[in-house]
Amino acid sequence: MANKFSILIVEEEQRLSFLLAQELERAGYDTTCTSNLEDGLALFKTQSFQLVIGEVALAGTPKYACLTEIQAISIVPVVLLIEKPRESERIQAFEQGVDDLIEKPFNIQELKLRVKRLLYYYYELPNSALTGEEDQLRLDEKNKRLYIEGKFVRLSAIEFSLMHYFMQFPDRIITREELLQEVWHYEYGGQIRTVDAQVRRLRKKIEGYSVDAAKAIKTIRSQGYLYQSE
């Protein structure tokens, strides 16, 4: 393995945590385990991790807290473990921006393949340059990719859909309710914070390639967002 990746495991069940660590270390990764989110966040802030594997529901924390707390401070990919999920739970997890969702009980070989795929996608996939597209922000709709100044920006599926919608309707205010309906396909409800969290995450990713491009997504107070084309 060209790079030694470090993985943080946040799992309450000690036997499962040990199994995950053992198998991932056999595959060549470094692992650190903890059984609660508070300790996991403390570790995450003081050490360098390239992937987080966590429970959907940890004792004493809201559902998806492992995902949302990591998203608030980083763009590191997150894999959630969930026991017998309903279809609505699967949809909600992906709408919140999870990179992968794995149902318990799972096949450990499948989990390792998914981890390998994510790490390759985020850290090893070559940055492709688009000839003649320097200094531009461009979406490749066919392959679901975003390029900034000719460089490939890795986005989750929901982040790509969000950026696509902004670029479809430049220079006009788009409300959070509109984004919920058109990007997440929700009717208006209590999911406004989902929009704000994903816009913050999208900006943070884009900022790593171009501060100006990130600033093009403007927050319009009490109204929503506006993507400024120039």
| pLDDT value of position 201 | 86
Q: Are 8 and 52 in contact (CB under 8 A)?
A: yes
From residue 24, how far is each of 18, 49, 52, 199 by CA, in Å? 10, 14, 12, 32
Of 90 and 105, the structure prediction assigns the larger pLDDT to 105
pLDDT tens, 157-185?
A: 788 889 999 999 999 999 999 998 888 77
| pLDDT value of position 130 | 43
Question: What percent of the chain has pLDDT above 70?
Answer: 90
pTM check: above 0.75: no
Say how far apart CA 41 and CA 53 lie, in whole Å.
12
All structural domains of the chain, each given as residue ranges with its CATH number in brackets, are 6-124 (3.40.50.2300), 137-227 (1.10.10.10)
Average pLDDT over residues 184-194: 65
Find all residues with CB under 8 Å of 23, minimum gap 6, and list them. 108, 111, 112
pLDDT tens, 54-80?
A: 988 776 777 788 888 888 888 888 999
- Please determine, for residue 134, whether its predicted confidence score (pLDDT) is greater than 80: no
Provide the pLDDT confidence category of residue 191 given band limits of 50, 70 and 90.
Answer: low
| pLDDT value of position 83 | 87
pLDDT tens, 97-128?
A: 888 889 899 999 999 999 998 898 888 776 65
Find all residues with CB under 8 Å of 124, minimum gap 6, and list them. 2, 3
Print burial letters for 22-52: b (CB count within 10 Å at least 16), e (below 16): ebbeebebbbebbbbbeebbeebeeeebbbb
